[in-house]
Chains A and B, each alone.
Chain A
Amino acid sequence: GQQLNQSPQSMFIQEGEDVSMNCTSSSIFNTWLWYKQDPGEGPVLLIALYKAGELTSNGRLTAQFGITRKDSFLNISASIPSDVGIYFCAGYPGGPGNTGKLIFGQGTTLQVKP
């Protein structure tokens, strides 16, 4: 089945630093979504990407839909303690592998040291 490889698995950074994480696949995707999950809560949608090459920002967050349609990245600028959490990429596969179901990456756990 379709799989997303998300990296890094975890990050421990200093407050104020920029953060970058990405998701890759061997198959093409039609849509990329980025979620953040706080401990004990459900994931919250941060950014949705619909077109190859699309670059979208949401405050200090910027995400891009890779031009090959096989990857996406999320950047967080000037991190703050409340950025702590697990970030998940998710996508809808394209082509013959399209099952109409959202595929999730394994998550990136972010810790920020004040």
Chain B
Amino acid sequence: EADIYQTPRYLVIGTGKKITLECSQTMGHDKMYWYQQDPGMELHLIHYSYGVNSTEKGDLSSESTVSRIRTEHFPLTLESARPSHTSQYLCASSEVGGRAEEQYFGPGTRLTVT
């Protein structure tokens, strides 16, 4: 079944730790996105990619970095987690052409930095 997956779903980690949030999709989509969302608030784009070896920063400044080595995989890394990074991180994907505007989201990773 075509889907988009995020792991872990929940992560509690101490300040200064390096973390990687995983995102994979089996929908064959070329475009992938990372959003940051505080509880009950709007979504803010922090990174996006239009294909392999393509990554761009979004509208909200973020200390995280991303990579796109494989079409289906778009991990997000924080080199040194801080309490200000506590938030929900949502990964999404969309196709190129056709209904390219329709973004499909994963279940999210809720990150808490203590």
Q: Which residues of A contact B107 (CB under 8 A)?
A: 40-42
Q: B40 at interface (Cβ–Cβ under 8 A)?
A: yes
Report the contact-size class of chain A (Cβ under 8 Å from the partner).
20 to 34
Q: B103 at interface (Cβ–Cβ under 8 A)?
A: yes
Contact B102 A48 (CB under 8 A): yes
Contact B59 A31 (CB under 8 A): no
Contact A104 B102 (CB under 8 A): no
* Cβ distance B100 to chain A, nearest Cβ, rounded Å: 9
Q: B51 at interface (Cβ–Cβ under 8 A)?
A: no
Q: A102 at interface (Cβ–Cβ under 8 A)?
A: yes
How many angstroms from the CA of A22 to the CA of B99 in the assembled complex?
Answer: 23
How many angstroms from the CA of A40 to the CA of B106 in the assembled complex?
Answer: 11
Contact A104 B101 (CB under 8 A): no
Contact A86 B106 (CB under 8 A): no
Contact B102 A33 (CB under 8 A): yes
Number of residues in B with C-beta < 8 Å to the partner?
Answer: 22
Q: Which residues of A contact B99 (CB under 8 A)?
A: 48
Contact A106 B42 (CB under 8 A): yes
Known contacts A31-B101, A107-B42; is-contact A41 B108 (Cβ 8 Å): yes
21 A-B pairs within 8 Å (CB atoms) are namely: A30-B101, A33-B103, A41-B107, A42-B6, A42-B90, A42-B91, A42-B107, A42-B108, A43-B43, A43-B105, A48-B99, A48-B102, A86-B40, A88-B42, A102-B45, A102-B103, A104-B42, A106-B41, A107-B40, A107-B41, A107-B42
Q: Apart from A30-B101, A40-B108, what are 20 other A-B pairs with CB-CB below 8 Å?
A: A31-B101, A33-B101, A35-B105, A40-B107, A41-B107, A42-B6, A43-B43, A43-B105, A45-B102, A45-B104, A48-B99, A88-B42, A88-B43, A101-B59, A102-B101, A102-B103, A105-B42, A106-B42, A107-B40, A109-B40
Lowest 6 A-B CB distances belong to which pairs? A42-B105, A31-B101, A104-B43, A42-B108, A106-B42, A104-B42
Binding site for A on B (CB under 8 A): 6, 40-43, 45, 48, 58-59, 90-92, 99, 101-108, 110
